[in-house]
Amino acid sequence: MNDVANAAQSWKVTLPCTRAEAEALDGDIAAFALMERPPVLMTSETAEDEAVWRLDAYFEGKPGAAAIKLLRSLVPSAAGAKPLVEALPDEDWVTMSQQGLDAVTAGCFHVRNIATDPALPGHVNLLIEAGRAFGTGQHETTAGCLAMLDRMRRVGMRFRNVADIGTGTGLLAFAALHLWRRAHAIASDIDPVAVEISADNARANGIALGDGPGRLALVTAAGADHAAIVGRAPYDLLIANILAGPLIELAPSLCALVEDGGTIVLAGLLNEQADAVLAAYRAQGMRLAERSDRGDWPTLRLRKRPSIGWKRPRRINRRARGEAPGFGSI
């Protein structure tokens, strides 16, 4: 489906909607998950009439007829209305569209997107300001991973070597280091801008960069295809919050990075994709230890079954590239 015709320009589509429709759009829209560049959706009351609401959808590139039709299906009350489709000036529209986002609380974590928002007492407060990279905590998959990590810590799980593949803004790696403060950690993303933003976010949240216990190493990599990622293996905790396609494609290389008895946390997939993702990881010796759903988005915790006898793996095969070109963070 040709959802976006021209990725060089940012565009906005506006449609009227009811308050009930606006409230129903709170959270992630499963239909957009299959798009290469899903839009950012914002709903608000109109200035002229507080009883009338509007939907603004921000696209990277001019939206095609299929994308506009999908938007219309989300707000049936706008069936007779003509959508306002306009090109935006050359500004950071992602930041602009996210300025009004509320803070997110998941488990022990409270994630703010605006520095002036108050911290929440009794929680681990993290600041991930809206910007060029995604993963601000608003996405159900990111919040689901935060809650999963918190539960793992509460039941006494301990980790010393952590990898976050497809890190986005670095948020999940920061969370892991807050829970397991002496762990070694590395985070990667296929997008060098995401790695740059993650470094800025690490400094803003007091996360030390570099090697060693309690520090975070950052690398640009497609999947697990980086010497630093392979060289630090095996991991006792690996996190991958990306998409179902690359999760399946990367299953052999990601599982090879994890030690016997180690844990993988997977997210970024839809309910209907969970069986296929699980099958790919079970084929690599993983078993499902826990599943937690937030709307249409499951978070999976897998554990690697121990091998027996001479077949027991000692280290990852360093010749395996572990690459999934074209895939990055969600």
Residue positions forming the annotated binding site? 142, 166, 189, 241
Residues 71-91 have pLDDT tens digits of 999 999 998 899 999 987 765
Average pLDDT rounded to a whole number, residues 224-229? 94
The highest-confidence range among 3-7, 66-70, 118-122, 238-242, by mean pLDDT, is 238-242
Q: Would the CATH topology of 10-94 be identical to that of 104-311?
A: no
CATH class of 10-94: alpha beta
Which has more pLDDT, 135 or 59? 59
Q: Distances in Å between the alpha carbon of 226 and those of 189, 202, 215, 322, 326? A: 11, 21, 18, 8, 15
Share of the chain above pLDDT 90, in %: 51
Residue positions forming the annotated binding site for S-adenosyl-L-methionine? 142, 166, 189, 241
| Cβ contact 129:114 at 8 Å | yes
Domain ranges of the chain: 10-94, 104-311
Q: Does the domain formed by 104-311 have CATH 3.40.50.150? A: yes
| Cβ contact 284:252 at 8 Å | yes
- Is the alpha carbon torsion for 84, 85, 89, 95 positive or negative? positive
Predicted model pTM: 0.69
Residue among 138, 163, 171 at smallest CA distance from 294: 138
